[in-house]
């Protein structure tokens, strides 16, 4: 049918029509809130590059987890800023370290929010890389044991799910095997399987104090020019035991989310990363854009591309806007 018989505007004419034929819906169920935990008491230090976000001591993490729960969110993901960094990321897997304490406190005080943890070494290494460094090279295989120990320590502290973000080859299999051996076969792994080497992580590295002290992450994170490689990475992680596959960042990679949705049958998560958030907030501060509208539009686009879950710094604000 063609114009004038067909008229696309008929079903756009009022809010109820639009509501009835809307193809994609964003729900609170889809959103995961990232939080940054730091040692101390009553600490709530603003992250300059991420307005509305803070490095928080455990008491404030618990308060924010409560707010997230009240806003209807199912889950948070925790990142830690440790008291000390070294060449073996010792504080990543110490039972008394920051993320382990934050997990325990949240699980004790807000038991029904799901606690996911980011499993990586970069924030805990003095050189800021995601694995062990040997003569200036990031040693893949030497990093696996430390990553598995980190995941295990999070789960022992009470984490409901672990999310390895380091991009070492084989780490999902290593973590799965370690968790299974320690009677945690029921704990799911959300793999940052398709993680690109991206300038959109800039503000996060300030937030987590995890910028590499030499070189860059291009020898382990993916080249933004590659799409087929995303399928290979996802397929390998699925074979190693991943339960959820993540694409990161989200907005410049909507085609990758779409492709993976056609190719794989696991839930797909997308990380609406720090730079994507900060750019919108900066635009708002300049008075040039309406960040609230932009955030809703971008989250819907990420869902429309095929993401089942979205990690976003806007999760609480958006959950409050949504009515289900
Ligand atoms: C740790 C990690 C990073 C992010 C999540 N986990 C940073 C990086 O790889 O440099 C980025 C999150 C964001 O930008 O919001 N490896």
Q: What are 167-193's pLDDT values in tens digits?
A: 999 999 999 999 999 999 999 999 999
Which of 69, 101, 107, 195 is catalytic? The answer is 195
CA dist 119 and 1 (Å) reads 54
Structure confidence by residue, pLDDT tens digits, 302-314 = 999 999 999 999 9
Q: Is residue 280 part of a domain?
A: yes
204: Cβ below 6 Å to ligand 1?
yes
DSSP H/E element including 206: helix 202-208
171 neighbors 120 (Cβ within 8 angstroms) = no
Percent of the chain with pLDDT over 70: 100
Assigned domain for 9 exists: no
Its pTM stands at 0.97
Cβ(196) to ligand 1 under 6 A? no
> CATH no. for residue 209?
3.20.20.70
User: Is 248 labeled as catalytic in the residue annotation?
Assistant: yes
d(CA 204, ligand 1 centre) in Å: 6
Cα torsion 121, 309, 103, 68: sign = positive
Q: Is 130 within a domain?
A: yes
Residue 24 clears pLDDT 90, i.e. is over it: yes
130 lines ligand 1 (CB under 6 A): yes
Domain containing residue 136: 25-323
- Say if 7 falls within a structural domain: no
Q: Which of 101, 248, 281, 303 is catalytic?
A: 248
Residue 70 resides in a domain: yes
C-alpha 23 to ligand 1 mean position (Å): 31
- Please enumerate in sequence order all residues whose Cβ is within 8 A of that of 165, keeping only pairs 6 or more positions apart, or say none: 118, 119, 120, 130, 192, 195, 248
Q: 273 CB under 6 A from ligand 1?
A: yes
Measure 62 CA to ligand 1 centroid, in angstroms: 22
pLDDT value at 323 more than 90: no
Instruction: Specify the DSSP element, H or E, that contains 81.
Output: strand 75-81
Q: For residue 293, is pLDDT > 90? A: yes
**Crossing angle for the helix pair 274-285 and 291-305, nearest 10 degrees?**
150
Is 116 part of a structural domain of the chain?
A: yes
Query: Is 78 within the bounds of a domain?
Result: yes
Query: Is the pLDDT reported for residue 97 higher than 90?
Result: yes
Q: How many domains does the chain have?
A: 1
Kindly state if the Cβ of 122 falls inside 6 Å of ligand 1.
yes
pLDDT, tens digit, 9 for 90 and up, residues 47-93: 999 999 999 999 999 999 999 999 999 999 999 999 999 999 999 99
Domain assignment of residue 229, yes or no: yes
């Amino acid at each position: 049918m063609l114009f004038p018989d067909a008229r696309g505007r008929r079903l756009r004419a009022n809010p109820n029509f639009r509501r009835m034929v809307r193809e994609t819906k964003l729900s609170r169920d889809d959103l995961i809130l990232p939080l940054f935990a730091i040692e101390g008491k009553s600490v709530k230090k603003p992250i300059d590059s991420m307005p509305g976000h803070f490095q928080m001591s455990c008491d404030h993490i618990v308060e924010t987890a409560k707010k997230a729960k009240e806003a209807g969110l199912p889950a948070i993901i925790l990142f830690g800023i440790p008291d000390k960094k070294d060449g073996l990321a010792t504080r990543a897997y110490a039972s008394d370290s920051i993320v382990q304490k934050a997990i325990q406190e949240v699980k004790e005080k807000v038991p029904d929010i799901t606690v996911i943890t980011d499993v990586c070494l970069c924030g805990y290494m003095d050189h800021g890389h995601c694995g062990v460094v040997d003569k200036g090279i990031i040693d893949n295989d030497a990093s696996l044991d430390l990553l598995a120990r980190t995941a295990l320590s999070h789960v022992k502290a009470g984490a409901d799910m672990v999310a390895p973000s380091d991009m070492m080859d084989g780490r999902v299999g290593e973590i799965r095997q370690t968790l299974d051996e320690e009677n945690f076969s029921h704990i799911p792994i959300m793999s940052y399987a398709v993680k690109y080497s991206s300038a959109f992580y800039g503000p996060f590295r300030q937030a987590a104090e995890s910028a590499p002290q030499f070189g860059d992450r291009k020898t382990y994170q993916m080249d933004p020019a590659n799409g087929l490689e995303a399928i290979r990475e996802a397929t390998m992680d699925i074979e190693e035991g991943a339960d959820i596959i993540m694409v990161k960042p989200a907005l410049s990679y909507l085609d990758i989310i779409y492709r993976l949705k056609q190719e794989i049958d696991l839930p797909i998560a997308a990380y609406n990363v720090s730079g994507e958030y900060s750019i919108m907030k900066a635009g708002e501060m300049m008075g040039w854009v309406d960040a609230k509208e932009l955030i809703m539009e971008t989250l819907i686009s990420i869902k429309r591309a095929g993401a089942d879950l979205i990690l976003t710094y806007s999760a609480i604000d958006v959950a409050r806007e949504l009515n289900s």
